[in-house]
Structure formats: structure tokens, C-alpha cells
Amino acid sequence: MPAPSAAARYAVFGQPIAHSLSPRIHAAFGARLGIAIDYRAIEAGAGEFPARLAAFARDGGRGANVTLPLKQDALALCAALSDRARRAGSVNTLIRAGESWHGDSTDGAGLLRDLRDRHGFEPRDRRVLLLGAGGAARAAAFAFADAGARELVIANRTHARAAGLAQAIGAVASATALDALEALGRFDLVVNASAAGHAGASTALPRTLLDAHTLCYDLSYGKAAQPFLDAAREAGARRVSDGLGMLVEQAAESFAAWHGERPDTEPVHAALREG
């Protein structure tokens, strides 16, 4: 795929969006690879999103990322979907194809790459607890199943939503209520995929879920991840991480879909960690 012209535009849509690191990440990728990038953050709630995405396309938009709360809304606006987006039921990457959008989900691939490369965690034959059942959680759940997790337990405030996701995944997955966590035993990985941290809230983690080797990981980053990371430490976790690495890796997957080349992520990740 040829490099885009200087006029080609890219963006991230969400609400709130001012905090997003995506423009900085894609600018850094472009600078490293010599590709001119016009990548902006566009504020849009669910009601405004279709019109703002259409206006973006008319203005030359060639690709976009989608974050909270629009990942499932984005799926409905796509004329075609990748297999992983269809299975996850959410889209975080939009690719302009003619007069329509092609939707993909790079969250799962980004999460697995960060877990493996930065945390030395291989999901195969491991026991995983996933908190949440929304768009990002669905992408993570299918990624863990595809990676060979031995058991995937999904806990969500609305049990029916967790049960629906577990049923879609198959025998490796089961659903439970948030107030039943204490009886589940130890997990190798606990992943917070809920949006509670964005409101400053977090689910309490029973100590029975963890030991010294358990990795506790929040898909969010920065302030939104802090409540869960604090709760994990309070429960005795020694290994905790936010999702900054996942953010960078899923962005690299999107970048490759748009520009035909996957950037080296480590220098960009290190720069973001340094602030």
C-alpha cells in the first residue's frame, strides 16, 4: 500500500477525547517512518458520531480510531468488517474503502503483544479473569480464547451480558457475578476491561484471586487505570500494569492497516512512559 499524500487525514473519535495520546503516537510513528501524518482528536458522543464521521470522510478522512463510548456504534456504520471485528462485535479501527468504511478491531492483537513482549505473559494454558463485557472486553475475550487460555471467567455488573459473551466464545469461557469473585480461586491474569475507572470507581478484588505471580492489568491508562491498580495492590498484587503498552500496540496495528508498514513501538512507548 503506498504512503498517503500529505492531504490524507486520520483521527480518533470518542468522548471525552481531549486526553487521548493517539495523535501523539501516530505523529511519532509517522516521523520515524517518514510518512506525513494529519491525525486529530475529534470529540463525538453516540448521537453526533455518524454525522461527524461522515463530515470527516467528506473532508478527506482515510482512516480513524474509535474509543469509548463508540466502538459498537462504529460497527454499525461499516459496510465490511474483519473477522475479528465481527466476532468481537466492536470496531476500533476504520479504513476508508471507496465511499464506505471497513471496520477492524486491533485491541485484542495489541493486548496480546503487550502482554507477551513487555510482561513476559503467555496466555496459553493460563487461567484468566476478565472484568467487564463491553466492546474492549469482547475484543480481549476472543483474543485470549484464540491464544489458548485454559479458562476464561467473565465477570460483569450485568450478568446477562457476561453470560452472552461467554456463550459466544464457547467451552473455555464462563460467566460470574461480581459479588461471587471470592470463591473463584487464583488466576494467572486479572484484566479490568470495565469503564469504572473513568468515573474514579473500581471493583474490590478479594485476596483469594491473587498470588505473587498474578498479573493485574487494566486496559485503560493514566488516571482511569489508577483505581483498579490501587485495588489490585490492596489485594496483594505484586505485578500490576496499565494499558499504555496495549494502546501503543493497537495503534501500530491500525497504522499498518492504513500505511502498509508496522512501526517500531518501543521508542514511542518509552517516550510516553517518560512523559
The pLDDT tens digits of the residues spanning 149-205 come to 999 999 999 999 999 999 999 999 999 999 999 999 999 999 999 977 677 777 789
160 marked among binding-site residues: yes
Say if 9-105 and 108-245 have the same CATH topology.
yes
pLDDT for 3 equals: 46
210 marked among binding-site residues: no
pTM: 0.93
d(C-alpha 25, C-alpha 5), whole Å: 19
**Integer distance in angstroms from the first to the last C-alpha of the chain?**
33
Write down the mean pLDDT value for the chain.
94
21 marked among binding-site residues: yes
Of the chain, the percentage scoring pLDDT greater than 90 comes to 90
pLDDT over 80 (residue 4): no
pLDDT over 70 (residue 5): no
Domain ranges of the chain: 9-105, 108-245
pLDDT for 7 equals: 52
pLDDT for 64 equals: 98
166 marked among binding-site residues: no
User: Catalytic annotation on 223?
Assistant: no
The amino acid at residue 5 is S
Beta strands in the chain (DSSP E): 9-14, 38-43, 61-66, 80-81, 93-97, 100-104, 127-131, 151-156, 173-177, 189-192, 215-218, 239-241
102 marked among binding-site residues: no
pLDDT over 80 (residue 2): no
| CATH class of segment(s) 9-105 | alpha beta
Task: List CB contacts of 220: < 8 A, sequence separation 6 or more.
Answer: 192, 197, 198, 228, 242, 243
Write out the three cell numbers for 163.
453470560
Neighbouring CB atoms inside 10 A of 115's CB total 24
Q: What per-residue string of b and e applies to 42-59 under the rule 16 or more CB within 10 Å gives b?
A: bebeeeebeebbeebbee
Report pLDDT digits (tens) over 243-264. 999 999 999 999 999 999 999 9
pLDDT for 29 equals: 97
pLDDT for 204 equals: 85
Single out the catalytic residue among 9, 71, 96, 269.
71
Burial of 216 (0-12, 13-18, 19+ CB in 10 A): buried
- Assess contact for 242 and 260: CB atoms under 8 A: no
pLDDT for 256 equals: 98
pLDDT over 50 (residue 1): no
- Assess contact for 87 and 107: CB atoms under 8 A: no
192 marked among binding-site residues: no
82 marked among binding-site residues: no
Report pLDDT digits (tens) over 94-147. 999 999 999 999 999 999 999 999 999 999 999 999 999 988 899 999 999 999
Q: Name the nearest CA neighbour of 162 among 172, 150, 174.
A: 174
65 marked among binding-site residues: no
CATH topology of domain 108-245: Rossmann fold (3.40.50)
Q: Name the nearest CA neighbour of 156 among 174, 177, 172.
A: 177
pLDDT for 118 equals: 98
- Assess contact for 195 and 134: CB atoms under 8 A: yes
